[in-house]
Chains A and B, each alone.
Chain A
Amino acid sequence: MKQASFKRFTIFFDQYLFISITLLSVMGLFFLYSASQGNINIVMKQAIFVGFGIFLMFILSQPDPDIYKILSLIFLVTSLLLVLITILFAKEINGAKRWLDLGVFTLQPSELVKIALPIYLASYLFEKPIPIDIRNTFKSLLIIGICFFLIARQPDLGTSLVVSMAGIYILFFAGLSWKFIGSSVLVFLISLPFLWNNFLQPFQQQRILTSLDPSADPFGSGWNITQSKIAIGSGGISGKGFEAGSQSHLDFLPETETDFIFAVIAEEFGFIGVCILLSVYMFILLRCMYLAFNARDRFCRLTIGGLSLVFASTLFINLAMVTGLIPVVGMPLPFISKGGSSLLSFYIAFGIIISMASHKKLMQR
């Protein structure tokens, strides 16, 4: 944490997070160059997002966190309205309405909800008794439920699950009783067959079955995961070398620029490359834990905890999906996958985290 004082104003800054995120972003541009088979247009566009994102992160780390507490409700309501507009008016792409065309840039509002919801819940619980009581638990769950169903309507099951997880993390940190957690899990498990039959689309069921046994249908729905495992496995210890991955460069691997970019990295840089990449992510997460422990108040604590876990969840869902541990769900590799909204949402999240980490209050409430 730095509060570098210049003559007239102070810059709020966390060099550890700032450097590691910038490092990831720049590495990401190189990976993307290879994953897009040297498509300089894609890389330039991404570079603009990265530059803008880092700038945004810097700007958002300047104001006092209390502003976010005040603005959190407006932020959440605005995001949800955008989701609603998307559902009502947006053009359908691949059977889903997720994107708002803003001319220069297509926005995916659900990505914003992923950040707005934990911030709002943290501010909502700021003055409530802790551990959280039953009344507030249900109020919070209602808000989470609204977000979940709106996004699930798009339909976007992956994002809606991450959004609800983001909310539940906050409740968990606020001391959600174990009894409640235990009985919820029980109810969930019992209703699982019901959910399977009534809630999941056939293609979603198929994806889940495929992840359990991709070899059952290697050229159909198992194709992606089979090819991804071949890409990762054939990378070996030291990888095939930059731009030398045959799986990605000969089009065997799907979605190389977005969801499956990790497979490209693993193929070209091997186990060593994977370990280096993961250690940067681990560093960011451990730094967040440290910051959460030392946060100045409950709002900051809950927000840092919640946002960092949204980041961690996205990361692990992507990694587990690419290595075939869980079904294929559209989930990017943070700071590396091509894509505007999710990328920007993480810069926003870390801008807010840095703001909370670097503004100290002498007088604590």
Chain B
Amino acid sequence: MIGIEDRFIEKRIFKSRLILIYIFFGILFSAFIYRTYNLQVYSYSSYELASIKNKTRSLLVQPKRGIIYDRNGNILINNVPSYDLIIQPAQIENISNYLDRLNEVILIDDGEREYVLERFENRSIYNRELAVKRSLSNEEIARFEVRGYLFPEAIIDKRYRRESEYPHLFSHVLGFVGGADNENMSDILNTQGKALGETLFTYANGYLIGKTGIENTYDDSLRGFFGERIFEVDAKGKLLKEIDFIEPKDGFDTFTSLDLEAQKVAFEAMAGRKGAVVVVEIETGAIITYLSSPTFSINQISNGISSANFEKLISDKDKPFFDRVSQGRYSPASAIKPAIGLYGLENKIINWDYTIDDPGFFVLPEDQRIYRGWKKGGHGTINLESALIESSNTFFFSLAYQSEINDLIDHLSNFGFGKNICADCFNPGKGLLPSPQWKMNNLNFGWFKGDSVNLGVGQGYLSATPAQLAFYSAFIGNKGSLEKLSLINNSIDKDILVLQASNITNEDWDRIHKSMIGVIENPKGTAKRLKNLKSYNIAAKSGTVELVSLDSKEDYEIVREDILKRDHGIMIAFAPMPNPKYAISVVIENAESGGSVAGPVAVKVLNSLIKE
């Protein structure tokens, strides 16, 4: 039996201990309420965000690239829609079997097969789609629709291709596009405040960036802004329904200064010969024609070319991939002579009445070395005008011999030699304007007087790109000043290059122009054969680039057996005179003559631009 006393003690213990435990639970309860308050009230916004992030998934939507126009509003590059058969490589294990199965429904040729096999693994890793067959016919679409249930990993959908109606005309100047790797894409998305993510591609080839030409230099404005499709997803990532759609903003259309018709004429006139044609609008420096020949199809490269075909392109001995306009280096040869003449006038070494006797060669007083002209027996007594018309070497050998070499180089650099003269060309070259300093640094030799003499006729170390020659031509046409060249009108503030000269008068310029008109119009002119090909006056200067230094014409007859050692032909010109609008440079490799081979090309292109 338990006594009253004990029962009292026991009850007291029980009560105090029960209260103690309830207090303990009370603390737990308060801690829990505090915790819940923290989660639901204090940190609500961050958890709400987390919950929204959980249940939504945003797929990027690729914008279309801007359209590229010529200066008359002709479309040069467009986005062309087609219905393509597209697979999801990440969902396919054995691609070879898969293609065999697909082949029973839609014929897949060897080229397409090769194309898919080359890209399959890469696309699978990055979970990107892959177009198996493009531009499906209605019949093919219908066939697939019937049996499509057998291929849940494949769909037919509308995709765009980057295409030019003139794939061979503008290969180098417009350039091509190509796939971007994840790093590239991530950088681009960053600039648009977005992160790399699953993307709904608008182009059959996925995300495209400009690789060369205008596609590359103006990629920023052509590319456009990504849109987003926002879906509600469950925990497994299954898309349940679309909740929002932010439309992509297509890239800006780009209006170039190029002229479709003139480009066509240049392309046809070149007829696949190696060389370049560049036309510049003198008033603005805008490039009207930009042709490097031979060309290649930008459509093929932009939309996927098999590696075999690509290999063929880059190993072609004519180097169609090489952009001769901006990267080719040619000696200006006789085309340099007007600039040398201007040097003589500026430095008062000569005037228009100054004459020399041209025996057909020049003897360097220092070592009696002989520098020959192109005409046996020489041109007789000549002044600057006739030296330009007949292209006397002796006159300019002698003039260069009397020059102060560093002054001469400074003078030539005013004409754009050794400089980048294009504001927005892709990868513009500078050619080479040699100097004693340059020679010492690179060849470990001092400057010889003979080097100056060679410079006088544009031979030796001096080289320029066809773009530089066109600039040079326009610069003379504009009487000593010109804006840098450009491909897009009014898009940039361009530097203006001005000839630094104090003794050259407007009359001097007029006489230079007159002499250059004489190159075609004068019966003794080196390009007199062009006289009847046009109905207006053209100021021109031809040039013939010797690839091998020779002493006699007989030697050349042996050398020319090898086509690749034949002289290059160069023509610079501007027209219509007396108020020239366009300046042109034409370079044709191994053409043997500037006046009679490059000249007709120049006239044809100018004719297409100057319609009376």
Identify the A interface with B (CB < 8 A). 129-131, 169, 172-173, 175, 227, 229-237, 246-247, 250-252, 266, 270-271, 274-275, 278, 282, 285, 289, 292-293, 298, 301-302, 305, 309, 312, 316, 319-320, 323, 325, 365
B43 nearest in chain A by CB position: A233
User: For B234, what are the chain A residues with a Cβ–Cβ distance below 8 Å?
Assistant: 250-252
CB-CB contacts below 8 Å: B18-57 with A: 18, 21-22, 25, 28-29, 31-33, 35-37, 39-41, 43-44, 46-48, 50-52, 54-55
CB of B18, distance to nearest CB on chain A (Å): 5
Are B40 and A292 touching (Cβ within 8 A)?
Answer: no
Given A236-B44, A250-B232, A323-B39, A130:B54 Cβ within 8 A: no
Q: Is B550 an interface residue (CB 8 A)?
A: no
Give Cα A4–Cα B328 distance, bound, in whole angstroms: 111
Give Cα A231–Cα B40 distance, bound, in whole angstroms: 9
Give Cα A246–Cα B232 distance, bound, in whole angstroms: 10
Given A250-B232, A250-B233, A278-B33, A236:B40 Cβ within 8 A: yes
Give Cα A319–Cα B236 distance, bound, in whole angstroms: 27
Q: Is B314 an interface residue (CB 8 A)?
A: no
CB of A5, distance to nearest CB on chain B (Å): 30
Given A236-B44, A251-B236, A274-B36, A289:B22 Cβ within 8 A: yes
Give Cα A309–Cα B37 distance, bound, in whole angstroms: 25
CB of B32, distance to nearest CB on chain A (Å): 5
Give Cα A38–Cα B15 distance, bound, in whole angstroms: 46
Identify the B interface with A (CB < 8 A). 1-2, 6, 9-11, 13-15, 17-18, 21-22, 25, 28-29, 31-33, 35-37, 39-41, 43-44, 46-48, 50-52, 54-55, 232-236, 240
Are A130 and B9 touching (Cβ within 8 A)?
Answer: yes
Are A252 and B35 touching (Cβ within 8 A)?
Answer: no
User: For A274, what are the chain B residues with a Cβ–Cβ distance below 8 Å?
Assistant: 36, 40
Give Cα A130–Cα B37 distance, bound, in whole angstroms: 43
Partner of B54 from A246, A266, A270 at Cβ < 8 Å: A246
User: For A130, what are the chain B residues with a Cβ–Cβ distance below 8 Å?
Assistant: 2, 6, 9-10, 13
CB of A361, distance to nearest CB on chain B (Å): 14
Give Cα A335–Cα B246 distance, bound, in whole angstroms: 47
B40, B44, B50, B235 pick with most chain A CB within 10 angstroms: B40
User: For A231, what are the chain B residues with a Cβ–Cβ distance below 8 Å?
Assistant: 51
Give Cα A302–Cα B32 distance, bound, in whole angstroms: 27
Give Cα A109–Cα B594 distance, bound, in whole angstroms: 105
Are A271 and B36 touching (Cβ within 8 A)?
Answer: yes
Give Cα A305–Cα B21 distance, bound, in whole angstroms: 10
CB of A154, distance to nearest CB on chain B (Å): 27
User: For B233, what are the chain A residues with a Cβ–Cβ distance below 8 Å?
Assistant: 250
User: For B51, what are the chain A residues with a Cβ–Cβ distance below 8 Å?
Assistant: 230-231, 233-234, 246-247
Add 5 more A-B contacts to A246-B54, A247-B54 (CB < 8 A): A234-B44, A250-B55, A278-B33, A285-B22, A289-B22
Are A172 and B54 touching (Cβ within 8 A)?
Answer: no
CB of A86, distance to nearest CB on chain B (Å): 31
User: For A275, what are the chain B residues with a Cβ–Cβ distance below 8 Å?
Assistant: 33
Give Cα A169–Cα B21 distance, bound, in whole angstroms: 9
Main secondary structure of the interface of A (DSSP, over half): helix
User: For A285, what are the chain B residues with a Cβ–Cβ distance below 8 Å?
Assistant: 22, 25
A-B contact pairs, 22 of them (CB 8 A): A130-B9, A172-B21, A175-B10, A175-B17, A232-B47, A233-B39, A233-B40, A233-B44, A233-B46, A233-B47, A233-B50, A236-B41, A247-B54, A250-B233, A252-B55, A278-B29, A292-B14, A293-B18, A305-B18, A316-B29, A325-B32, A365-B1
Given A173-B14, A250-B232, A298-B10, A230:B32 Cβ within 8 A: no
Are B50 and A230 touching (Cβ within 8 A)?
Answer: yes
Give Cα A316–Cα B35 distance, bound, in whole angstroms: 13
User: For A172, what are the chain B residues with a Cβ–Cβ distance below 8 Å?
Assistant: 17, 21
Are B10 and A232 touching (Cβ within 8 A)?
Answer: no
CB of B379, distance to nearest CB on chain A (Å): 87
Are A319 and B47 touching (Cβ within 8 A)?
Answer: no
User: For B235, what are the chain A residues with a Cβ–Cβ distance below 8 Å?
Assistant: 250-252
User: For B39, what are the chain A residues with a Cβ–Cβ distance below 8 Å?
Assistant: 229, 232-233, 266, 323
Give Cα A316–Cα B28 distance, bound, in whole angstroms: 8
CB of A18, distance to nearest CB on chain B (Å): 22
A253 nearest in chain B by CB position: B235
Are A320 and B10 touching (Cβ within 8 A)?
Answer: no
Give Cα A301–Cα B29 distance, bound, in whole angstroms: 23
Give Cα A365–Cα B1 distance, bound, in whole angstroms: 8
A228 nearest in chain B by CB position: B39
Are B13 and A230 touching (Cβ within 8 A)?
Answer: no
Give Cα A227–Cα B55 distance, bound, in whole angstroms: 11
User: For B25, what are the chain A residues with a Cβ–Cβ distance below 8 Å?
Assistant: 285, 309, 312, 316
Give Cα A271–Cα B232 distance, bound, in whole angstroms: 25
Give Cα A320–Cα B44 distance, bound, in whole angstroms: 19
Are B40 and A309 touching (Cβ within 8 A)?
Answer: no
User: For A319, what are the chain B residues with a Cβ–Cβ distance below 8 Å?
Assistant: 32
User: For A365, what are the chain B residues with a Cβ–Cβ distance below 8 Å?
Assistant: 1-2
User: For A298, what are the chain B residues with a Cβ–Cβ distance below 8 Å?
Assistant: 10
Give Cα A316–Cα B31 distance, bound, in whole angstroms: 11
Are A320 and B14 touching (Cβ within 8 A)?
Answer: no
B37 nearest in chain A by CB position: A271
Are A323 and B35 touching (Cβ within 8 A)?
Answer: yes
A226 nearest in chain B by CB position: B50
Are A230 and B40 touching (Cβ within 8 A)?
Answer: no
Are A309 and B13 touching (Cβ within 8 A)?
Answer: no
Are B21 and A270 touching (Cβ within 8 A)?
Answer: no
A169, A173, A285, A302 pick with most chain B CB within 10 angstroms: A173
Are A316 and B32 touching (Cβ within 8 A)?
Answer: yes
A262 nearest in chain B by CB position: B36
Are B28 and A236 touching (Cβ within 8 A)?
Answer: no
Give Cα A285–Cα B310 distance, bound, in whole angstroms: 81
B28 nearest in chain A by CB position: A316
Give Cα A302–Cα B13 distance, bound, in whole angstroms: 12
User: For B232, what are the chain A residues with a Cβ–Cβ distance below 8 Å?
Assistant: 246, 250
Give Cα A309–Cα B28 distance, bound, in whole angstroms: 13
User: For A234, what are the chain B residues with a Cβ–Cβ distance below 8 Å?
Assistant: 44, 47-48, 50-52
CB of A314, distance to nearest CB on chain B (Å): 12
Are A270 and B40 touching (Cβ within 8 A)?
Answer: yes
A223 nearest in chain B by CB position: B235
Give Cα A270–Cα B37 distance, bound, in whole angstroms: 10
Give Cα A276–Cα B462 distance, bound, in whole angstroms: 92
Give Cα A319–Cα B31 distance, bound, in whole angstroms: 11
Give Cα A275–Cα B37 distance, bound, in whole angstroms: 10
Give Cα A230–Cα B51 distance, bound, in whole angstroms: 6
Closest 5 CB pairs of A and B: A233-B47, A234-B51, A251-B235, A233-B39, A250-B234
Give Cα A49–Cα B44 distance, bound, in whole angstroms: 36
User: For A227, what are the chain B residues with a Cβ–Cβ distance below 8 Å?
Assistant: 54
Give Cα A129–Cα B2 distance, bound, in whole angstroms: 8
Give Cα A293–Cα B28 distance, bound, in whole angstroms: 22
CB of B552, distance to nearest CB on chain A (Å): 83
CB of A315, distance to nearest CB on chain B (Å): 9
Give Cα A325–Cα B28 distance, bound, in whole angstroms: 11
A235 nearest in chain B by CB position: B40
Given A293-B15, A301-B14, A323-B35, A232:B40 Cβ within 8 A: yes
A302 nearest in chain B by CB position: B14
Are B15 and A237 touching (Cβ within 8 A)?
Answer: no
User: For B33, what are the chain A residues with a Cβ–Cβ distance below 8 Å?
Assistant: 275, 278
Give Cα A285–Cα B21 distance, bound, in whole angstroms: 12
Give Cα A74–Cα B411 distance, bound, in whole angstroms: 117
A130, A169, A251 pick with most chain B CB within 10 angstroms: A130
Are A232 and B21 touching (Cβ within 8 A)?
Answer: no
Give Cα A246–Cα B234 distance, bound, in whole angstroms: 9
Are B28 and A271 touching (Cβ within 8 A)?
Answer: no
Partner of A236 from B9, B48, B54 at Cβ < 8 Å: B48
Are A305 and B55 touching (Cβ within 8 A)?
Answer: no
Give Cα A270–Cα B51 distance, bound, in whole angstroms: 14
A316 nearest in chain B by CB position: B28
CB of B287, distance to nearest CB on chain A (Å): 55
